[in-house]
């Protein structure tokens, strides 16, 4: 899928988690619902850091371009080192290492650890990166027309404001993880979820997605998971724009309303 559909599916997925949390008597305070949905929308772009024309690789100027080159090389190296004789030869790392459950868990776990140990600046950095991505993904038309610097400023100011809101007692810094020193541990959850939702979205497209690596399926270690061929669509096709996008919006709306106990 393309960036906007990935982001929208990420936001909808977190709103769905909010609905489930409300049903399980662990309701999210509204700032957790909002910030989680935005982080998940941003994190749902992250796996494409292995592709130089992806939204995330362009979002932070030379920093993300350099990171993209490193991630692509690393992914390609891991692919070559771990592929079985039944996995096809490839010429680059796109849709390999960063498109797996293991990567999702590592990135989310790393972010959670940083948020818990790094204090306010770590939380701000996590919020900033994901809010910029959320703007690029959800408001892509507006983001394309404005300069990168404006989007970064918007990300930075909203990160600052939202961190202040979350810090207020009862607003959810310690949602789900209530022990001492566990504030903001939950920030890892929308990051893991966003990456997984991205992988599932890619699995629905023609080339599939090796989500389960390094678990072998059949004789392949990089088995491209996906539905039967007839149910797949091309990235950026009308199915994505005219069917999936409205479906994500509706599901997100229902999830959000249920999470806030409005329905
Ligand atoms: Zn992808």
Task: Please tell me the predicted confidence (pLDDT) of residue 128.
Answer: 98
From residue 98, give the alpha-carbon distance in Å to each of 37, 140, 141, 176, 184.
Answer: 21, 23, 26, 27, 24
Ligand 1 center to residue 99 CA distance, Å?
7
Model confidence at 3, in pLDDT bands (50, 70, 90)? confident
135 and 143 in contact (C-beta within 8 Å)? yes
As a whole number, mean pLDDT of residues 145-166 equals 93
Ligand 1 center to residue 193 CA distance, Å?
14
Nearest to 124 by CA among 164, 159, 154, 152: 159
23-74 pLDDT, tens digit per residue, is 999 899 999 999 999 999 999 999 999 999 999 999 999 999 999 999 999 9
84-142 pLDDT, tens digit per residue, is 999 999 888 899 999 999 999 999 999 999 999 999 999 999 999 999 999 999 998 88
Give pTM, 2 decimals: 0.94
Domain-wise residue ranges, the chain: 3-47+106-259
Ligand 1 center to residue 237 CA distance, Å?
15
Q: 């650890």: which residue's tokens?
A: 113
Ligand 1 center to residue 15 CA distance, Å?
21
Ligand 1 center to residue 207 CA distance, Å?
10
Task: Please tell me the predicted confidence (pLDDT) of residue 6.
Answer: 95
167-187 pLDDT, tens digit per residue, is 999 888 999 898 888 999 999
pLDDT at 233 > cutoff 90: no
Ligand 1 center to residue 115 CA distance, Å?
26
Show the tokens assigned to 67.
Answer: 């990171």
Using CA atoms, how far apart are residues 204 and 114, in angstroms rounded to an integer?
32
Sign, CA torsion 103/108/112/115: positive
Ligand 1 center to residue 112 CA distance, Å?
23
Ligand 1 center to residue 201 CA distance, Å?
8
Radius of gyration for the chain, computed over Cα atoms and rounded to the nearest angstrom: 18
Count other C-beta atoms under 10 Å from residue 149's C-beta: 9
Ligand 1 center to residue 203 CA distance, Å?
9
Task: Quickly list DSSP for 43-107.
Answer: HTTGGGGGSTTSHHHHHTHHHHHHHHHHHHHHHHHHHHHH--TTSPP-SS-TTSGGGSHHHHHHH
Ligand 1 center to residue 6 CA distance, Å?
9
Ligand 1 center to residue 151 CA distance, Å?
23
122 burial level (CB within 10 Å; 0-12, 13-18, 19+): middle
The DSSP 8-state label assigned to residue 29 in this structure reads P
């Amino acid at each position: 899928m393309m960036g906007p559909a990935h982001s929208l599916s990420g936001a909808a997925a977190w709103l769905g988690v909010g609905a489930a949390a409300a049903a399980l008597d662990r309701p999210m305070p509204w700032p957790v619902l909002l910030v989680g949905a935005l982080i998940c929308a941003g994190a749902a772009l992250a796996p494409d850091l292995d592709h130089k024309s992806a939204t995330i690789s362009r979002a932070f100027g030379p920093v993300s371009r350099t990171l993209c080159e490193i991630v692509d090389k690393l992914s390609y190296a891991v692919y070559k080192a771990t592929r079985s004789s039944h996995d096809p030869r490839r010429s680059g790392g796109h849709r390999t290492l960063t498109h797996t459950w293991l990567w999702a868990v590592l990135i989310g776990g790393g972010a959670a650890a940083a948020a818990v140990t790094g204090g306010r600046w770590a939380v701000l950095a996590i919020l900033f990166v994901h809010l910029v991505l959320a703007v690029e993904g959800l408001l892509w038309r507006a983001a394309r027309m404005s300069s990168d610097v404006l989007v970064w400023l918007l990300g930075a100011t909203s990160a600052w404001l939202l961190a202040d809101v979350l810090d207020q007692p009862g607003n959810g810094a310690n949602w789900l993880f209530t022990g001492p020193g566990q504030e903001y541990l939950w920030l890892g959850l929308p990051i893991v979820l966003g990456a997984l939702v991205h992988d599932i979205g890619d699995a629905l497209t023609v080339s599939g997605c090796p989500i389960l690596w390094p678990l072998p399926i059949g004789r392949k270690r990089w088995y491209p998971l996906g539905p039967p061929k007839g149910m797949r669509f091309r990235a950026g096709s009308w199915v994505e724009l005219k069917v999936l996008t409205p479906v994500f919006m509706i599901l997100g709306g229902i999830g959000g309303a249920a999470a806030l106990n409005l329905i």
